[in-house]
Amino acid sequence: MSASTVRVALVYPELLGTYGDRGNAVILERRLAWRGIAAELVEVRAGAAVPSDVDVFVLGGGEDDPQSLAAEGLRASKPAIEHALDHGAAMLAVCAGFQLLGHSYEAADDEHVPGLALLDMVTVAGADRLVGECVVEPDAPLPLLTGFENHAGRTRLGDGVAPLGPVRVGRGNGDGVDGARADRVVGTYLHGPVLARNPALADLLLGWVVGQLPPIDDGLALRLRAERLAAAGLNAR
């Protein structure tokens, strides 16, 4: 972690910003500030090198062409990203950003685009799009996670990579689970933005960086979470 201010890096928001995923970075910064913890939101624009002196990376979703451009830039910055992760940084990657963590993903033109290879996984194209509410049941201490998905990719995890959790509603990776979780990295297909719907997930990421967090009033966020779970036919817990 940085010596004083927690730096949240929003990576390539103009390429990986579908469905309001930039809100995840804003939420992380605000949840620190509400607790009196100094935080800074750093926007890494497309074409810029990703810095190594940040504490949380946030990657969002994107369409095929922007995703390919993002893949090129991320590969060039892989040493900086790995350095940060090796020194305690955390990462949240959503949808296209999640696919970029693997060895490769299959674009719409059947091209297999190399990813960061941070996780042992690949993404191939599916026959149809997976669209709608999605609910994931992760391991404790996280409760049910709610979001919505809109993607055609099918992500296959290697034997040593754990999913974020089984899917209760929706399709996720396409094989009964959603996302991936390894060390301080979380990947998921959940939009929403996912951290607005699931404050416990936001605090899990922040806790990896700053340690135990004091409680804050999450009444509004929990009402949103309960509403979206009800829309998916489930009770909040």
Give the pLDDT band (50/70/90) at residue 8: very high
Beta bridge partners of 93: 59, 187
Q: Which of 95, 103, 112, 151 is labelled catalytic?
A: 95
Give catalytic status of residue 87 as yes or no. Answer: no
27: nearest Cα among 125, 94, 111, 83: 94
Q: What is the pLDDT of residues 162-209, one digit of tens each?
A: 999 999 999 999 999 999 999 999 999 999 999 999 999 999 999 999
Q: What is the mean pLDDT of residues 124-145?
A: 94
* Domains of the chain, earliest start first: 6-231 (3.40.50.880)
Give the pLDDT band (50/70/90) at residue 140: confident
Give the pLDDT band (50/70/90) at residue 1: very low
Among the listed ranges 76-85, 106-115, 142-151, which one has the minimum average pLDDT value? 106-115
Return the pLDDT at 93. 98
Q: Which of 83, 134, 151, 191 is labelled catalytic?
A: 191
49 pLDDT higher than 80: yes
Q: Provide the 3-class DSSP secondary structure of residue 33.
A: helix
Tokens of 13: 């928001």
Give catalytic status of residue 191 as yes or no. Answer: yes
Return the pLDDT at 2. 45
Return the pLDDT at 53. 96
Count the neighbouring beta carbons within 10 Å of the beta carbon of residue 201: 24
Q: What is the pLDDT of residues 91-108, one digit of tens each?
A: 999 999 999 999 999 987
Return the pLDDT at 3. 52
Q: What is the DSSP string of 183-214?
A: TTEEEE--BTTHHHH-HHHHHHHHHHHH-S--
